[in-house]
Amino acid sequence: MVLKKRLEYGLHGFQVLTVPRAPRSTRRRGPNKKKIDDSQICAFELLASLAGKLLQESESSSASSNASEGNNQTFGDDVIKQEKQAEDKLLKEEFFEQGSSEESAFVSVITSQDIDEKFILKKFSNAVSERASNKSDFDDKVNKDVKSVICNTKPAFQNYPAKVEVGCPLIEEPCHANVENGKERQQKGEKLETGSLTKANTCNSEDPMQLQIEFPTAVNSDNDVKLSLLREPVPNASFSRHRNDIKLVGSDDDENFSRYNKSSTKGKAFKPPARIGDRRIRKLLTSKYWKVAPKLRDCEVFRSDSGVKPLYNKRKSCYSRDRFQHDTFCKRRKLFHRSSVVSSDGGFSSESVSNSPEKGKSGDMGFNGMFHGAAGVSSSVISRQASFNSKDSHVKFSIKSFKVPELFIEVPETATVGSLKRTVMETVTAILEGGLRVGVILQGKKIKDDNRTLQQTGISSKDNLDNLGFTLEPNILPVSPSICADDPLPSLSCEAPEQLTRSTGTPLIDSAISDSLPEPPPPVTNIGTLVSSNPESVSSHTDPLTDTTPDSQALVVVPAMSMEALAVVPANPKNRKASEFVQRRTRRPFSVLEVEALVQAVEELGTGRWRDVKLRAFENADHRTYVDLKDKWKTLVHTAKISPQQRRGEPVPQELLDRVLAAHAYWSEHQAKQHGMQQTGTLKITDASADRHGAEGSHSS
């Protein structure tokens, strides 16, 4: 009735205006197979673990050397205070620096493991240019308002707050707390805390690192996302007290603006706030909740090899665990390969994620009761569930171990183990210095739109979070997208000997610190030739220590100069592709409402005028492009044709589908007839509502 009328009107009203175009079916192209992206994940598990172990090792040595003062509480407090001050200061600087840039985010890395015992505070702002080069990166605006503070602490004594707290009360846990303790605290916290709550959970897992994350599914309001990464105490006594905390405060500022703000005529209801950071900054600076774990001095981190043993002990003790992880990694890798999404662009690292609510019993600890701690914590999980059920849904899961992005390391055989360690350490540090970004991967797809809520993204407490992954990416990316990481390698490898001799301890790595290579390597001029003549050198040069794959581009940043030199060499499209971590937009099923709007618009405008359709019906839906609408129409038509049983997803009212068919038929006719359509019989189309197939004959006579 009403619909009928509208349709009639629409058809009549627009038939004159419409200038149908000839079908472009002639444009059909042959199968233009796209190259398979067979790039591999390049996260070096081995290296990662090596690095991790080195850290622990150094810690252990420091811990042991600090044994006497290890329990010195007073000392610790002082340190805490000092550190806190220092940190605040630094943070302040950071914030100010950040200042006007609404696009910048920063990551602070505070590490006591630094050789010079200083914090490394690095700010980074995502290179806008880099983003711009990524054509599918629509979400330029965000993640800039995500501030994270990474605190890498070096424990040397027992009782110190193990949390870095930002803007929200947290449960503090002494790092020596055992599982029981943690449980208690959790339960306690359960009652005390409302809303988002982050808990530091100490467990005995061998995990070098574990992330526990909990945050509301909807982060578009005032909610802060808190993420705490804690370094798990390792079984070994010398390790048992150390942990790293990461507190990540992310804020999606209130609005949910669309991924890209098109400069259209439409009023931009959502304009990115000019100073996204400010509020948070203030919050951060004034927060009473800042709790900074003390960074204890390391005593000659690399001095002795005493750590080796514990290291291996640890290894052994967690062997099965490693196995497990490895397995999951493999699985994940497979998954990624299937979706051909994963290319290690800038340092890919994925880790297993367990969904606590989902698993129930495994609780915070993770998978399948894999961890002993799991049982101990499960109860609290349950209660937590209960508590959050009444409130907003929270997504809870734990991240077990980030994998360190790929590193390239090369040292002479004659180098000492110590120097190797140092090299790795420096490499890692360099990357941290460069700043890290956290990427979120869902079902193999990288989620780049920081503005969407978790719900919108498909991360909900109800969903299976197994598909959720995170990456740590070096913040510094190659300036020129045309340069693929593979290319520089040969040159590097060929320079390797020279460099190594030049600087003994200097890692021959292309880490995030491109400046670390002061002088242009001599052989530069040859690079081009090298690349073409000896491609194998890429893989052949790979360090045995690293499980590198030829395709891995990792966080490799090409030294400025070799970049230039290489620029001449046409970048391999395949590699190029891999290097661009193009994220697939997350799926956003059309709602019935949207379908309705689309149908109506198409009824009136016809197919082939998607831009107009977009303008008419979806002007305010920035996430729907005209291509999307066109695609949706396509699927709608298909859906309408198939039997209801075969349809999936949110069922579209048959009435709408009928209209789809009718309009489709009509406009098909219309187009086919080009001009000569005087469909007086247009009215018949409306009959389609009653009889879907009636539409077929509904055209003008």
Residue ranges in contact with DNA by CB under 7 A? 21, 23-25, 27-29, 31-32, 34, 136, 582, 584-588, 607-612, 623-624, 626-628, 630-632, 634-635
Q: 623, 626, 633, 631: which is closest to 600 by C-alpha? A: 633
Show the tokens assigned to 241. Answer: 């007290």
376 vs 608 by CB, closer to DNA = 608
Indicate the residue among 297 and 611 with the shorter CB distance to DNA.
611
Q: How far is the CB of 460 from DNA (least distance, A)?
A: 17
Nearer Cβ to DNA (38/515): 38
Nearer to DNA, 28 or 288 (CB): 28
Nearer to DNA, 276 or 636 (CB): 636
Report the residue number, 34 or 288, with the smaller CB distance to DNA.
Answer: 34
Dump strand ranges (E) for 371-498: 394-400, 436-442, 445-447, 468-474
Pick between residue 49 and residue 258 the one whose CB is nearest to DNA. 258
Phi-psi region at 93: left, alpha or beta (left = phi > 0; alpha = psi -120 to 50): alpha
Which tokens in the block code for residue 428? 């890692």
Return the number of the residue (255 or 631) whose C-beta is nearest DNA.
Answer: 631
DSSP assignment of 29-42 equals ----PPPP------
Q: How far is the CB of 75 from DNA (least distance, A)?
A: 54
The Cα angle at residue 244 between residues 243 and 248, in degrees rounded to 5 = 145
* 696/686 Cα distance (integer angstroms): 11
* SS3 assignment, position 59: helix
Q: Which is nearer to DNA, 462 or 634 (CB)?
A: 634
Closer Cβ to DNA, 188 or 587, answer by number: 587
Q: Which helix (H) or strand (E) holds 93?
A: helix 73-98
DSSP string, 120-154: B-------HHHHHH-TT---TT-STTEEEEEEE--
| Distance of closest approach, residue 549 Cβ to DNA, in angstroms | 22
Q: Token pair for residue 678?
A: 């005087």
Shortest spacing between CB 167 and DNA, in angstroms:
32
Q: Between 154 and 630, name the residue whose CB sits nearer to DNA.
A: 630
Instruction: Name the residue nearer to DNA (CB basis): 28 or 675.
Output: 28
Q: How far is it, in rounded angstroms, from Cα 29 to Cα 564?
A: 38
Smallest gap, in angstroms, from Cβ of residue 573 to DNA? 9
Q: Quick one: which of 61, 147, 162 has its CA closest to 103?
A: 147
Q: CB of 438: closest distance to DNA in angstroms?
A: 20
The least distance separating DNA from the CB of residue 451, rounded to whole angstroms, comes to 14
Q: Least Å distance between CB 587 and DNA?
A: 5
Q: In the complex, what is the shortest distance from the CB of residue 445 to DNA, in angstroms, rounded to a whole number?
A: 8
Among 114, 113, 111, 116, residue whose Cα is nearest residue 90: 111
Partners of 161 in beta bridges: 174
Q: How far is the CB of 443 from DNA (least distance, A)?
A: 12
- The whole-angstrom separation of Cα 70 and Cα 155 is 9
Instruction: Compare residues 31 and 267 and give the one whose CB is closer to DNA.
Output: 31
661, two tokens:
């068919």
Minimum CB separation of residue 269 from DNA in Å reads 19
Closer CB to DNA, 202 or 625, in the complex: 625
Between CA 424 and CA 306 the distance in angstroms is 18
Give the span between the Cα atoms of 449 and 256, in whole angstroms.
10
Q: Find tokens 């794959």 and name the residue.
A: 549
CB of 43 to DNA, least distance (A): 22
Take residue 202 and report the two structure tokens written for it: 């100490």
C-alpha dihedral, 230 to 194 to 220 to 456, nearest 10°: 80
Letter string b/e over residues 373-399, b meaning 16 or more CB atoms within 10 A of that residue's CB? bbebbbebbeebbeebeeebbbbbbbb
Comparing CB distances to DNA, the nearer of 73 and 339 is 339
Report the alpha-carbon distance of residue 664 to residue 685 in Å, rounded. Answer: 10
Angstrom distance (rounded) from CA 663 to CA 657: 10
Q: How far is the CB of 625 from DNA (least distance, A)?
A: 8
Min dist. Cβ of residue 628 to DNA (A): 5
**Helix crossing, 626-641 with 592-605: angle to 10°?**
100
Q: What are the Cα distances from residue 215, in Å, to 112, 525, 547, 566?
A: 28, 52, 35, 45
Q: Least distance in Å: CB of 345 to DNA? A: 13
Q: Which amino acid, one-letter code, is at 494? A: C
In the complex, the smallest distance separating the C-beta of residue 31 from DNA, rounded to whole angstroms, is 4
Please name the residues in contact with 213: beta carbons below 8 A apart, sequence gap of 6 or more.
Answer: 198, 225, 226, 227, 228, 395, 396, 397, 398, 399
Q: Which is nearer to DNA, 18 or 205 (CB)?
A: 18
Minimum CB separation from DNA for residue 262, in Å?
8
SS3 content of the chain, % helix, strand, coil (to 5): 45, 10, 45
In the sheet that holds 106-111, the strands lie side by side as: 106-111, 146-152, 245-251, 224-231, 209-216, 394-400, 352-355
Number of H helices, E strands in the chain: 22, 12
**438 versus 598: smaller Cβ distance to DNA:** 598
Q: What is the largest CA-CA distance in the chain?
A: 98
